[in-house]
Structure 1
Amino acid sequence: MKKTIFYTGALLGVIFLVTSCNKAGSFLDQTATETLTQQKVFSDSTNTMNFLNDIYKYLGQDIIPARQSYINSTQPGSNDQSCLEELTTQSVSFYSAPQAAWITGTSTSANDPFGNYYGRYYTEIRACNMYMQNVKNAPLSAAIIKRTTAEARFLRAWYYAEMIRIYGGVMLVGDNPLPPDYSGDYKRNTYKECIDYIAGQCDTAAMSLPSASTQSTSDYGRITSGACLALKARMLLTAASPLFNGSPITTDAQLEPLVSYSQAYDATLWQKAAEAFRALMNLNQYSLYVDNSIPGNGFRQLFLMRTNTEYILPYMAAPGQSGTNDLENFRFPISRSSNGGSSTPSQNLVDQFGMNNGLPITDPNSGYDSTHPYLNRDPRFYHTIIYNGASVYSSSTQKMDIVNIYDTQSSNGQLTPTTDGVQSYHTKTGYYCRKMADDSVSTSTGHDRVLPLIRYAEILLGYAEATNEYQGPTADVYNAVEQIRMRAGIAPGSANDYGLAPGMTKDQMRAVIQNEYRVEFAYEGHWFYDCRRWKIAATEEAKPIQGLRAIIQSNGSFVYTRFTVLNSVFVNPEMYFLPIPANEVFKSNDMLQNPGW
């Protein structure tokens, strides 16, 4: 069937261009919209570069707050403070409508919890094609044309990667910017074709891009060869994972190639992923940011730095997006004059943080005490979660203040929450999120924020995971995980093993690595994808979302009581992938919907 393709609002004839105004060295810090014709864009060097800069704008959808309203407009709306974590059991917000529908299994192909990602990403892919086709005629030097063409090639691969992570195989449109009135064959490519295409595009782009060590300071945030290698490694690891390698979620002969890389298990896919990660590690251009002057201080400070040795692909946030004070205003306790209650961590997530000796709280030797649940935890816990009794710097008092997230109980059993306690429009779980936020930022001031899209910790854990699956828990695997735990501030122990048991099996090491992913990358947009590619979502994401209520006693101590915030449902196999938007499926008989939808 012929159809009109999906580029609604795509850039043709009249181009909506976001123009850069340099601020603190970032090429994307501030934007102002102009309307320019295609000829005016590519006949002027500044306009040409601004056109490319505009394509960078949507890179951060997995990590920014207000992601739905931003993907649907040029600025986020005040009524959407949701992040990707809220589509999992790890976080809850009082802005609960998108989450509740997805988490309870009531979303439909006409009610996409990701908003307009499908249309937006194809619009950006088309813009990449337009740039690569037209920049050769722009008044730029040959060196800049070569470099920026490679940037656009990577950006196109990135947006494809984002789509296939949530939809499976999608249509690869080639190099030509198809017009909005295009009428032709419309059919999804296989998942394998998409992965192989992305890997090849990353290899090609890398050859024409500077490395992190040769990139100029003013270009920080632009694509490097390292970013290309990192995206390639991420996607090869994904393809090697259980969801895509040997255990397809459907036996339908038409649908299986769209959601699976290999129907039969192929161990060499892990080897290819490990080699891709090792190639990046061997560059010796990236390292973990380590500062254990206070346990785990490097983990905290990393996210507050403008530049660092760990960010391979940074997201240069713009004011009104994730810059200024969005994280603090959305996530800090209400007593900090914030909105409070957006993306409040669940007890499900809190339980994943082990102890400072590296042992999980379920280990009888860990020292965990359920009556004092916040003592001696993994230092990353204190830099991720605001809990009852936590200290948060107050810009008004210029000191660390204790956050009271507890209830008082009357003689008749009635519970009355404190200002920051469990309430509909504050925290629903008994926690607030601290990850990546800056205590010193008030809700009326700002932070020159840069967020991580890919950082070196992911490379180490990806290498450890792939190597463990292919060869078992070798010394290299132990070393990679120990580096992550050392930077986290976990005590080395007498054997300098950071709580890792000697002689673990592949299965035991796999469990450790998966837990490291979960606590290291909380609120960075990883868990939604990781629990699916590991094919554990049907178990983990079907658990009730829990909170922990603190009730103060007459002697000032607390009794902690778990409670269910939301009963989560995971519908198998539907919820392993999002549905292709219904209006797109209806346009062609060749367009196949994902399994279960």
Structure 2
Amino acid sequence: MKRYLPILLAASLSLTGCADLLEPEVENLPGKDAMYKEVTFAQGFLLNGYTRLPGLPFNDVATDDAVSNDKNNAFLKIATGQWTANYNPTDQWVNSMSAIQYLNTMLAEVDKVTWATDPRAAQMFRDRIKGEAYGLRAFYMFQLLRAHGGWASSGELLGVPILTKPQDTNSDFNQSRATFEACMQQLYSDIKQAEELLPLDYEDVTSASQIPAKYSGISPEEYTRVFGQYSRLRLTARIAKAIRAQAALLAASPAYRTGTTTTWIDAANHAGEVLKLVGGPARLAANGGTWYDNRTEINNLGAGINPPEILWRGDASNSRNLEEDNYPPSLFGRGRVNPTQNLVDAFPMANGYPITAAASEYRAQSPYTNRDPRLQRYIVVNNSTLGPSNTVIRTETGAGNDAVNQIETSTRTGYYLRKLLRQDVNLNPIGANQQRHYTARIRYTEIFLIYAEAANEAWGPDGQGSFGFSARDVIRAIRQRAGIGANNGDAYLASVQTQADMRQLIRNERRLELCFEGFRFWDLRRWNEKLTESANGIRITNGNYSIFPVENRSFTAHMNHGPIPYGEMLKWKSLVQNKGW
């Protein structure tokens, strides 16, 4: 994507006049007709869809997994009672609707653009551009449904207005919300179109046998020009399939399933289709749990290549922002995201048993001994080491600024974040450095967990559908990778026999594997789980460990679904608000 940055920046500057969906003023674009012959300008409409792709939201601090020491943190505010239709940090309306406006413009105009002088190459460019636009439009529909879909007072499950054509000054902006089901069907239709138009991956070809039959007669050089490695990091048919699995999981979940026709079987099949392409649980990336700090792998990324764990990612670049925000004060960081005792307690013992089980051998006054190795991979606990010099981080009372509530950048819970941070970043002004990071948009572990959840609900713990592997097989592979049950064959997993017990185990594994990546906020809601569990911390004084409440949660029942923005409700009388907002 960085090859397109100069084009993107130029296009973005020229398109500022239509940034607001509700006043697109397409006629104010400098010579829209010029796009038909200026490919770089035309590309800007599509690339706008890429620049709006969301990054890490850190909305975990509005769940039972984390708090923030930043009193101005937006997610802290909504967790403690300030979430309204007029103040909504989870809002996706403006960003996603604006992206859809650009994508619809691209789809409406793509056939008029002179993509290449060779008509065969021009057709391939049109196909690729259309496929990307359809796939991205489906992605933004998923974002909108997750953030704004919900039940109206009438008892109907609603989505958002379905817009498939660009809007201009003659358009009727007063559009009502379509049903959630209609939105899902539009999403599925867009995904199907993307699959038909896009390659599974962007790869150079060297022989005619590698070229799809629909492009018969095209030379390998011509095909590679459009669908080769140069286009990596753009949307592909493989990514489109994964987006469909994400959306199907949402629709099949308890908070939505009575208002849609998407079933758990559908969700399992969509995820299974993606996983079958990589060989199932046996091909789970061995180092996928630490994708963010696999330094050699990250440093050697090039030409848009994905590591084995990653299905879709952003470009890699040098930075230290995550470390500046989340290293403890002793390492010159702000310690912003503080994992909770609630999350720490969710990690099982190394033998696989939950800490509440009699067979776990858990000791409350030695709480980090013989635990799931992921605990200290993802969370800095007392006496953990962190940073390029393996500095010991002490959070017990009297240990200095890293201890609980010592200064404004100290932890509030007794824990600091390790996950997502590179341990070779140095923030010391003497020798400060940056390291390469990238955003993982879709990880294969997420798709495996989608399959496990849906397959268990569809067929039970050991049902395999048509894929040859079960929910239990997936969870076994994930726990083995984590280092759980190495000495006892994961006896706890073997003891889980009922669908209900497997459901709880899968949900817990999802909580651990995907922590701090922006999932739990939405997972709790689609599961209809309790939203008001107090966020707790640990206080260590003279070797004694005591749990204490850190922050209460002030969510109410209607907050299982987010609101339609208040400003949109004021402008358009046809919009119906979700119940309770």
Label 1:181 to 1:579 Cα distance change in 2 as closer, same or farther (>3 A): farther
2:374 maps to 1:380: yes
Conserved 8 A contact 1:549-1:561 = yes
Q: Provide, for residues 450-483 of structure 1, a one-character-per-residue CA deviation record: whole Å limited to 9, x for no partner.
A: 2222211122121121111122111612111111
Q: Provide, for residues 508-546 of structure 1, a one-character-per-residue CA deviation record: whole Å limited to 9, x for no partner.
A: 00000000110000011111111111111xx2x211111
TM-score (norm 1): 0.79
* Structure 2 SS opposite 1:312: strand
2:411 maps to 1:427: yes
Aligned residue runs from structure 1 range 347-496, under 5 A: 347-394=341-388, 399-408=389-398, 417-419=400-402, 421-423=404-406, 424-443=408-427, 444-474=432-462, 476-494=470-488, 496=489
Structure 1 range deviating more: 525-534 or 374-383: 374-383
Corresponding residue for residue 333 of structure 1: 328
Conserved 8 A contact 1:299-1:487 = no
Aligned residue runs from structure 1 range 517-528, under 5 A: 517-528=510-521
Conserved 8 A contact 1:304-1:438 = no
Label 1:387 to 1:218 Cα distance change in 2 as closer, same or farther (>3 A): farther
2:127 maps to 1:152: no
Conserved 8 A contact 2:291-2:309 = no
Structure 1 range deviating more: 371-380 or 298-307: 298-307
Q: CA deviation at 1:147?
A: 0.9
The counterpart of 1:128, out of the listed 100, 103, 112, is 103
**Counterpart code for 1:233:** A
Conserved 8 A contact 1:298-1:488 = no
**Counterpart code for 1:535:** N
Aligned residue runs from structure 1 range 203-242, under 5 A: 203-212=192-201, 214=203, 216-242=228-254
**Which blocks of at least 5 consecutive residues in structure 2 are unaligned?**
16-29, 116-121, 150-157, 204-226, 464-469
**Counterpart code for 2:319:** T
> Structure 2 CA distance, aligned partners of 1:302 and 1:275?
34
**Counterpart code for 1:311:** I
Conserved 8 A contact 2:174-2:573 = no
The structure that is strand-richer by fraction is 1
**Counterpart code for 1:361:** I
Aligned residue runs from structure 1 range 33-44, under 5 A: 34-35=13-14, 37=30, 38-44=32-38
TM-score (norm 2): 0.81
The counterpart of 1:102, out of the listed 70, 73, 78, is 78
> Structure 2 CA distance, aligned partners of 1:87 and 1:592?
26
* Structure 2 SS opposite 1:442: coil
Label 1:138 to 1:93 Cα distance change in 2 as closer, same or farther (>3 A): same
The counterpart of 1:163, out of the listed 130, 140, 144, is 144
2:308 maps to 1:309: yes
Conserved 8 A contact 2:7-2:40 = no
> Structure 2 CA distance, aligned partners of 1:503 and 1:114?
36
Note the aligned Cα RMSD (angstroms). 2.7
The counterpart of 1:530, out of the listed 511, 523, 539, is 523
Q: CA deviation at 1:49?
A: 3.0
> Structure 2 CA distance, aligned partners of 1:498 and 1:436?
30
Q: CA deviation at 1:148?
A: 1.9
Q: CA deviation at 1:50?
A: 4.2
The counterpart of 1:111, out of the listed 87, 101, 104, is 87
> Structure 1 CA distance, aligned partners of 2:287 and 2:494?
25
Conserved 8 A contact 2:331-2:387 = no
> Structure 2 CA distance, aligned partners of 1:562 and 1:533?
29
Q: CA deviation at 1:498?
A: 6.5
Q: CA deviation at 1:563?
A: 1.7
> Structure 2 CA distance, aligned partners of 1:331 and 1:31?
30
**Which blocks of at least 5 consecutive residues in structure 1 are unaligned?**
1-19, 65-82, 247-259, 263-267, 409-415
Q: CA deviation at 1:501?
A: 2.7
> Structure 2 CA distance, aligned partners of 1:363 and 1:550?
24
Q: CA deviation at 1:332?
A: 1.1
> Structure 1 CA distance, aligned partners of 2:38 and 2:573?
43
Q: Provide, for residues 375-419 of structure 1, a one-character-per-residue CA deviation record: whole Å limited to 9, x for no partner.
A: 22212212211111111133xxxx3221122212xxxxxxx7434
Conserved 8 A contact 2:61-2:76 = no
* Structure 2 SS opposite 1:407: coil
Conserved 8 A contact 1:233-1:277 = yes
> Structure 1 CA distance, aligned partners of 2:564 and 2:278?
40
Conserved 8 A contact 1:548-1:560 = yes
The structure that is helix-richer by fraction is 2
* Structure 1 SS opposite 2:50: helix
* Structure 1 SS opposite 2:257: coil
* Structure 1 SS opposite 2:579: coil
Corresponding residue for residue 182 of structure 1: 171
Q: CA deviation at 1:234?
A: 1.4
Percent identity reads 28
**Counterpart code for 2:314:** Y
> Structure 2 CA distance, aligned partners of 1:561 and 1:502?
31
> Structure 2 CA distance, aligned partners of 1:43 and 1:458?
41
Corresponding residue for residue 22 of structure 2: none
> Structure 1 CA distance, aligned partners of 2:460 and 2:421?
37
Conserved 8 A contact 1:291-1:298 = yes
Q: How many matched pairs?
A: 508
> Structure 1 CA distance, aligned partners of 2:356 and 2:292?
24
